[in-house]
């Protein structure tokens, strides 16, 4: 995978308002086991040292030192020193650690875990989120860059930086980098044939995505995109549809409308300026496109967001 993949992916992560945190970094001694319930957040675990088992839907996955796992939909799962070990709720483990009482300290130390979550706006229905697999297991990622992972953990968990200005922004950017690294490693290891991750791994389609993202506020045609990426219009259309599941021009509209949705959530600019910022020359044309995409007018959406914020 090319380093350029980070550009399109970073755009998407900013759009879906990615935020990340660490629940804890802790050493556990056998026997130990914790049960993580269904969560609205994407769960992740890093095995800093040792090994353990992850059980998801009855399937067992052995995690070893340096492994990173991501569970994008926050599905219920367990982490244990042995699949037969009894578990306690993960919230109890977290509460114990936060109160200064380390759980699972009776036997021989077997593992050091870094656990946390990624939070993002799921109302931003981007195909990247839709096409994430249920489980991403990267083997040995921490072994390739151990100092980096252990170095960012104190910042993510809030033990470095305190209330200093900019700490929240730093944490969000580090979380973004961590997720990008996981996705990059996943793409390097996998040979996805379809879906948005496969599109990110295809150099020409990834470049097409970047063109769309960068020039979404301009008058952009299929010919313009094809010329930029060195493909014929038919070749681009076919390959884009094969990987992304939609045409380049439909994706352009989707991206514009998601950007508009984001602007309407956080800005009070006049509606005509919103329309121009996402490539529409008239407010009426923008309103029609927004309603087709989101089943609500831009004005009504802005009002609903303001009402929720003020509730």
Q: Which domains does the chain have, with CATH numbers?
A: 5-189 (2.60.120.10), 202-310 (1.10.10.60)
Residue 306 has pLDDT above 90, yes or no: no
CA atoms lying within 13 Å on the CB side of residue 177: 11
Spatial separation of the C-alpha atoms in residues 255 and 126, rounded to whole Å: 8
| 293 φ/ψ angles, rounded to the nearest 5 degrees | -80, -40
Spatial separation of the C-alpha atoms in residues 53 and 61, rounded to whole Å: 6
- The pLDDT assigned to 237 comes to 97
Q: CA–CA distance from 186 to each of 1, 69, 108, 136, 138 (Å)?
A: 10, 10, 33, 7, 6
* Residue carrying the six token digits 């979380």: 175
Count other C-beta atoms under 10 Å from residue 96's C-beta.
16
Report which of 75, 65, 78 is spatially closest to residue 42, judged by C-alpha positions: 75
Residue 157 has pLDDT above 70, yes or no: no
Residue 37 has pLDDT above 90, yes or no: yes
Mean pLDDT of 9-27: 87
* Residue carrying the six token digits 């493909």: 231
Percent of the chain with pLDDT over 70: 86
**Strands 19-29 and 109-119, sheet pairing:** antiparallel
Predicted confidence band at 182 (pLDDT cuts at 50, 70, 90)? confident
Residue 298 has pLDDT above 90, yes or no: yes
Residue 161 has pLDDT above 90, yes or no: no
Spatial separation of the C-alpha atoms in residues 226 and 69, rounded to whole Å: 37
Mean pLDDT of 101-129: 87
pLDDT tens, position by position, 188-244 = 776 666 789 889 989 999 999 999 999 999 999 999 999 999 999 999 999 999 999
- The pLDDT assigned to 191 comes to 64
Find out whether 41 and 117 touch, Cβ atoms under 8 Å.
Answer: yes
Predicted confidence band at 288 (pLDDT cuts at 50, 70, 90)? very high
Mean pLDDT of 12-22: 86
pLDDT, mean over the chain: 87
């Amino acid at each position: 995978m090319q380093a350029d993949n980070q550009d399109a992916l970073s755009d998407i992560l900013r759009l879906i308002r990615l935020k990340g945190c660490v629940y804890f970094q802790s050493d556990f001694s056998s026997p130990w086991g914790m049960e993580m319930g269904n969560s609205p957040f994407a769960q992740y675990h890093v095995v800093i040292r040792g090994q353990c088992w992850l059980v998801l839907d009855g399937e067992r996955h052995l995690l070893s030192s340096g492994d990173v796992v991501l569970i994008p939909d926050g599905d219920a799962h367990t982490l244990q020193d042995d699949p037969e070990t009894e578990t306690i709720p993960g919230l109890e483990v977290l509460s114990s650690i936060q109160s200064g009482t380390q759980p699972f300290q009776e036997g021989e130390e077997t593992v050091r875990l870094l656990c946390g979550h990624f939070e993002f706006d799921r109302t931003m229905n981007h195909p990247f989120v839709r096409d994430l697999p249920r489980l991403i297991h990267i083997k040995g990622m921490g072994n390739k860059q151990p100092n980096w992972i252990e170095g960012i953990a104190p910042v993510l968990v809030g033990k470095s930086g305190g209330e200093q200005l900019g700490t929240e922004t730093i944490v969000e950017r580090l979380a973004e980098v961590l997720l990008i690294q996981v996705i990059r490693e996943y793409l390097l290891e996998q040979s996805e044939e379809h879906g948005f991750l496969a599109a990110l791994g295809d150099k020409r389609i990834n470049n097409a995505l970047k063109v769309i993202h960068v020039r979404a506020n301009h008058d952009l045609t299929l010919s313009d995109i094809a010329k930029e990426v060195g493909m014929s219009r038919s070749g681009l259309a076919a390959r884009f549809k094969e990987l992304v599941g939609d045409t380049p021009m439909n994706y352009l509209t989707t991206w514009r409308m998601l950007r508009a949705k984001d602007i309407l959530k956080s800005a009070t600019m006049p509606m005509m300026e919103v329309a121009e910022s996402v490539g529409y020359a008239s407010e009426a044309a923008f309103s029609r496109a927004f309603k087709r995409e989101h089943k609500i007018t831009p004005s009504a959406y802005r009002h609903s967001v303001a009402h929720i914020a003020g509730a």
